Each structure stands twice: as structure tokens, then as C-alpha cells.
Amino acid sequence: MGYTDEPRPCVVNGSRALFHGWAEMEKPNIEDGKQVGCWKQPVALIEYQNGSVEPVTPGKVRFLDGAEMFARYDWGEADA
């Protein structure tokens, strides 16, 4: 997991935001009051226009710079 050199513009739940990178959240699994393991989940670190930062699941992020990013690569004969 890691951070980007430059924040990427994105939309999260209808709000403009900046993506700063990926992280991994870990939470314990509890059964009968005892920890029996943990689960890990990748999250996007997002900064909103008001300066607040929160982790969100990857599926909630829509990047706005996709056309620029994809134009950098030679896709050969691959279909879009």
C-alpha cells in the first residue's frame, strides 16, 4: 500500500475530493468475547474540500483523471 506523489482528483459519494493513497485497515474478529483473528481491508485515503480526511472503500472512489492516465499507455490491440 502507499501514497501518491500528487493527489488525484476524485468524487466520493457525490463530493469532490483528493485521493492521497491506499492503506490497509485491520479490525479484530470477536467470537464469544474473544479475539479469534482479524480481517484486513484496503481503503483509499481521501481528503475533502473542507480539509477532513477519511478512509473509504475502493468502490466508493471515482477518479476524474482517468482519460489522462490511460492515454499514457500503449494498449496495443486491446479493446477498451
Cα(32)–Cα(1) distance, integer angstroms = 32
The confidence score (pLDDT) of residue 79 equals 63
Identify the residue with better confidence: 67 or 43.
Answer: 43
Q: In whole numbers, what is the pLDDT of the chain averaged over residues?
A: 90
- Taking residues 10-20, report their average pLDDT: 96
Element (H, E) at 70: helix 66-71
Provide the 10 A C-beta neighbour count for residue 64. 13
